[in-house]
Amino acid sequence: MIQKIDHIGIAVRSLAASKPYYEKALGLSSDGEEEVASQKVKTAFFSCGEVHLELLEPTAPDSPIAIFIEKNGEGIHHIAFRTNDIEGQLSQAKDAAVRLVHEVPIEGAGDKLVAFLHPKSTYGVLTEFCTPK
């Protein structure tokens, strides 16, 4: 079952360049940075009440985030829903004819398991399911 919106992923060229906006202009505080090798990104999380913002900086030219920025520029990349049953959520989506990016969950940032639904079958919104490990 989906429990809440966990975070909003935002693609940026540089964490160093973009973090001051969130810290100084918005007054949010960073929960630290982490590299996610499987996704070829460096992330920084900001708490905003119950929801987090996840800044994503590509670490390689073939990173999904590098490709996204190339195509769309910087900006909102995905919405992540927290679930207590990621496998069940994936099979529910699959049963509803949604195309899955990940058939099985992969390692995500913040010690979570994550899986994505393809934006071509979610009306343009790259959708992530995440669950704490």
Measured from the CB of residue 128, what is the shortest distance to Zn ion in angstroms? 5
Considering the rule CB under 5 A, would residue 10 count as an interface residue with Zn ion?
Answer: no
- Of residues 35, 39, 9, the one with CA closest to residue 105: 39
**How far apart (Å, rounded) are the C-alpha atoms in residues 120 and 127?**
11
Cα dihedral across residues 128, 106, 71, 44: positive or negative: positive
Considering the rule CB under 5 A, would residue 115 count as an interface residue with Zn ion?
Answer: no
Q: Which residue type does 26 have?
A: L
Measured from the CB of residue 34, what is the shortest distance to Zn ion in angstroms? 12
Site for Zn ion in 46-105 (CB under 5 A): 54, 80
Size of the site for Zn ion (CB under 5 A): 4
Measured from the CB of residue 110, what is the shortest distance to Zn ion in angstroms? 9
**How far apart (Å, rounded) are the C-alpha atoms in residues 29 and 32?**
9
DSSP state of 24: I
Which one of the spans 1-9, 30-38, 45-53, 62-70 is the region binding Zn ion (CB under 5 A)? Answer: 1-9
Q: Give the footprint of Zn ion on this chain (CB under 5 A).
A: 9, 54, 80, 128
